[in-house]
Amino acid sequence: MAQTMLDVADLGHTYQAKDGAHDAIDGLSFTVEAGELVCVVGPSGCGKSTLLRSISGLIRPTRGAVSLHGTPVDGVPADLAVVFQDYSRSLFPWLTVQRNVEFPLRELSRAERTARAGEALAAVGLENAGRKYPWQLSGGMQQRVAIARALAYRPALLLMDEPFASVDAQTRFELEDLLLRVRREQDTTVLLVTHDIDESVYLGDRVLVLSKSPARVVAALDVGLGEERDQITTRSSDEFVELRAKVAGLLQSAPTAETVH
Ligand code: ADP
Ligand code: MG
């Protein structure tokens, strides 16, 4: 039986802002099995980043519990990596690409750091960019570096917060396929949030549909598209078209938490 990697139980978070309390997420529950790629799709502002911040221990959620392979998350877990949307702020401009990827590996020997970073850069097609600086690279390449850095760390769980939202459409397709390939090769468990319905269906083994803010899970859909996916044939297949319509319908009719209560 598959092992549960992530367990999110009745999670809620209320921000205390100047103009009063704001419920960003409420009553969110789901699990991610080891080796799964789960996409979370929801409208902008519904609480997706709040969810990922809670899972990664960057904020302490007001309610509920998160556990990572059975251990309650309290603070930033060591075996987790996050890729954010904004690659320009996630890489250190004063470090070379190689050093950026090695950065989270400080506890390893120099030889192992070099080997792991080299391997991860090769996996994202940047084997020759190690000596460059991030600002010498295109946006898509910088996001590849951020992905390589996360992969080199070999996290138990890879969290991605709209990782392809800031690149052009062609690069986005390439990075999506890159993610599908490396997660297969490295058997990585991934939780990816996006506001893009098509992306959630194209990438996911499962898609969790969130309601408007405060977010909760309104549906969990299995994606029966198989392992081999292709930007052209998969996206025009009946199964894909059906699923995207279903997700779109759920997002449109998703009740807010107020009406559920
Ligand atoms: P998403 O990532 O889905 O766009 P967020 O998790 O960033 O949504 O935000 C969810 C809601 O919480 C939004 O209404 C946002 O304005 C609010 N919010 C996010 N961060 C804070 C904060 N630090 N303080 C107060 N409100 C916040
Ligand atoms: Mg966000």
Are 161 and 192 part of one and the same domain?
Answer: yes
DSSP state for residue 195 in the 8-state scheme: S
Give the pLDDT of residue 224: 92
Residue 66 and residue 159 in contact, taking contact as beta carbons nearer than 8 Å: no
CA of 38 to the centre of ligand 2 (A): 16
Helix (H, G, I), strand (E, B) or coil at 33: strand
Indicate which atom in ligand 1 lies nearest the CA of residue 17.
25
Any idea what the CATH number is for the domain that residue 240 is in?
A: 3.40.50.300
94's tokens: 């004063």
Q: What is the pLDDT of residue 255?
A: 61
- Domain count for the chain, please give it: 2
Pocket test for ligand 1, best of 13, 16, 22 (most atoms within 8 A of CB): 22
Q: Of 154, 173, 203, which residue is a domain's last?
A: 154
Extract the residue ranges of the chain whose pLDDT is less than 50. 257, 259-261
Whole-number Å distance, alpha carbon 73 to ligand 1 midpoint, is 21
Q: Kindly report whether the peptide bond that precedes residue 77 is cis, defined as omega within 30 degrees of 0.
A: no
Look at residue 1 in the predicted model and tell me its pLDDT.
57
What pLDDT, in 10s, does the model give residues 2-35?
Answer: 799 999 999 999 999 888 999 999 999 999 999 9
- What's the token pair of residue 250? 């759920």
Bridge pairing between strands 71-72 and 63-68: antiparallel
Cα–Cα dist 177/189, whole Å: 16
11 - beta bridge partners? 28
Of the residues 125, 154, 183, which one is the last residue of a structural domain?
154
Q: Within 13 Å, how many C-alpha atoms sit on residue 95's CB side?
A: 16
